[in-house]
Structure 1
Amino acid sequence: MIELEVDRPLTSNGKVALVTGAARGIGLGVAAWLIVEGWQVVLADTERERGAKVAKVLGENAWFVAMDVSQESQVVEGVAQVLGQFGRLDALVNNAAIADPHNPPLDSLELAHWNRVMAVNLTGPLLLSKHCAPYLRAHYGAIINITSTRAHQAEADTEAYSASKGGLLALTHALAVSLGPDIRVNAVSPGWIDARDPSARRAAPLSDADHDQHPVGRVGGVEDVAAQVAWLLSASAGFVTGQEFVVDGGMTRKMIYA
């Protein structure tokens, strides 16, 4: 069951955002937040049935397009659909990813798994940026890459995911230099975000220990990431590009000794 809450009257700011991986989790949270702020949001995802249902729940300011971001032909077709429907594009949020950070131990890590993670998590944002750039440039738009604190620190057996997010962080500042001054490019690096559907969170709530280990006293929610993304897309962030914004409740600044 899909549960969303959009309880403020919606107005339009005339701008269009494309959010990938938007059928659930952080991507869905970002899409819902932007809609409340007046954006027309295109949700892109491989989950066709769920994506269409989510867009219907979000209302007339949401529109769904099926897309595997690792396939250039699908990216080209998806971007063409967006331009055909709305005639403009003002923002791209590269959120789609194979999100489970864990893979088999290094000695049994298959190259196919590595390549698939890289294709979705790193090549996908490159392809979207490449094909959206001409339209973003026309409106002095912005690109936000959703990276991860695992670009800086890791658990065991997370080589593919950590490397993909580290690469995406480097791609962020490379794109910022290449696409400026017409397009700003920034990265948001979430820490522990409880991105489960509300029903799953109610059925298996996180423990006090999970929350208390964070310097802010709680695990993050999708709205924490969405708020940061929305600010970076706003005129208030007009002097900000090529930067990383860590949204992790302070965990990467905490020294932890067992």
Structure 2
Amino acid sequence: MTLTPSIHPHPARPLESRTVLVTGGAQGIGRGIAQAVLGAGGSVCIGDTDTDAGRAALEEWDVGDRALFVRVDVAKEAQVARFVDRAASHFGAIHGLVNNAGIPDPVSGPLERLEVREWQRRLDASLGGAFLCSKHTLPHLRAEASKGYGAASIINIASTRAHQSEPDCEAYAAAKGGLVAFTHALAVSAGPAVRVNCISPGWIATDAWRKPAARRRPRLSKRDHAQHPAGRVGTPEDIGALAVHLLSPASGFTTGQEFIVDGGMTRRMRYD
């Protein structure tokens, strides 16, 4: 036995032979994560309410059986159970879950005029969906971990709005803040078989990542980019790159954490 540390090469395809579920995976950040999984050698099942977007993604990717689309409303448990079962049946195993689905518009209007039904709808679409998808996927993740694969992985997609706000975004902030707390709670409960982490994106331009009929080039000014210490607005690929790392065995000592990916914007002092 030697105590000399070895140099190990990084795998070129870190998600080879691994299957990941991505909710809200047909457009925007979710699609960016799904494509990153495919680029890393993995297979992906995208769940989304937009059938046109889901079918378009499969057609444009053209990767055969490595990608599957299932229409699912993550706020409805029966549909979530069917989504997970379809993925498990198609791929034979599930190694990762990305809880990305939610209502993208953060503005819900003045709180005194916000209906309880709308408040609940926004929480159900994000926080409630993460609960249901995790609940039904955990048995599959634990099963794969028990085979010696190493810890399986869940990623929750929150937002920098869990830490800072604009007016009339209470429901969105509550849902995203809840995801941050849900992350560390589940990490403690599900570990060591399953690792759970959170990515909180900042300003991510998703215009070019919509379904074909709605796709356009982002309209961004020099001022938009200059607000970020990194010098630019983010892209779904920025989130996908970190997601691949957190889904892979390379992040085996990382769990219960929140990663803010915002080009440094929330660290910059601003005086108006």
Q: TM-score range by the shorter chain?
A: over 0.9
Give 1:200 shift.
4.7
Residue equivalent to 2:5? none
How many pairs were matched up?
Answer: 248
Task: Say whether 1:158 aligns with 2:163.
Answer: no
1:49 paired residue number: 52
Structure 1 runs, 4 residues or longer, greater than 6 Å off: none
**Residues 17-166 of structure 1 correspond to what in structure 2 (within 5 A)?**
17-59=20-62, 60=64, 61-140=66-145, 141-166=152-177
The structure 1 residue matched to 2:184, chosen from 170, 173, 177, is 173
TM-fit CA distance, 1:11: 10
Distance, in Å, in 1 between the alignment partners of 2:18 and 2:252 is 16
1:196 to 187, 207, 212: 207
Give the C-alpha shift of residue 12 in structure 1.
Answer: 7.7
In 1, are the aligned partners of 2:21 and 2:46 still within 8 Å (CA)? yes
Deviation at 1:86, TM superposition (A): 1.3
Aligned partners of 2:258 and 2:172: how far apart in 1?
Answer: 18
- Give the SS at the match of 1:181: coil
The code of the aligned residue for 1:224 comes to D
Relative to structure 1, the CA distance from residue 173 to residue 109 in structure 2 (aligned partners, 3 Å threshold; closer, same or farther) is same
- 1:189-243 per-residue CA deviation (whole Å, 9 max, x = no partner) reads 00000011268553x5200000001111100001110001111111110000000
Tell me how far apart the structure 2 counterparts of residues 247 and 33 of structure 1 sit (CA, whole Å). Answer: 16
The reply on whether 1:247 has 2:247 as its aligned counterpart is no
For 1:220, what is the secondary structure of its paired residue? Answer: coil
Residues 46, 68 of structure 1: 8 Å contact kept: yes
Whole-Å Cα distance in 2 between the matches of residues 82 and 250 of structure 1?
Answer: 36
Q: Hey, what's the Cα distance between the residues in 2 that align with 1:222 and 1:144?
A: 15
* SS of equivalent residue, structure 1 residue 194: coil
Q: Is the 8 A contact 1:94 1:146 kept in 2?
A: yes
In 1: Cα distance, 2:174 partner to 2:19 partner: 31
Deviation at 1:56, TM superposition (A): 2.1
Q: 1:6 maps to which residue?
A: none
> Which ranges of structure 2 fall in alignment gaps of 5 or more residues?
1-12, 146-151
Match of 2:241 in 1: 227
**Are 2:231 and 1:212 aligned?**
no
Deviation of 1:14 (Å) = 1.2
Distance in structure 1 (CA, Å) of the matches to 2:215 and 2:85: 36
Return 80-89 or 168-177, whichever deviates more.
80-89
Cα separation, 1, equivalents of 2:15 and 2:84: 21
Percent of counterpart pairs with the same letter?
Answer: 50
Any conservation in 2 of the 1:11–1:36 contact (CA below 8 Å)? no
Q: Check if 1:183 corresponds to 2:197.
A: no
Structure 1 residues 20-46: Cα deviation after superposition (integer angstroms, max 9, x where no partner) = 001100000110111011111001101
CA distance in 2, matches of 1:249, 1:201: 23
Q: Is the 1:19–1:31 Cα contact (8 Å) retained in structure 2?
A: yes
C-alpha separation between the residues in 2 aligned to 1:236 and 1:161? 32
Distance 1:149 1:11 in 2: 28
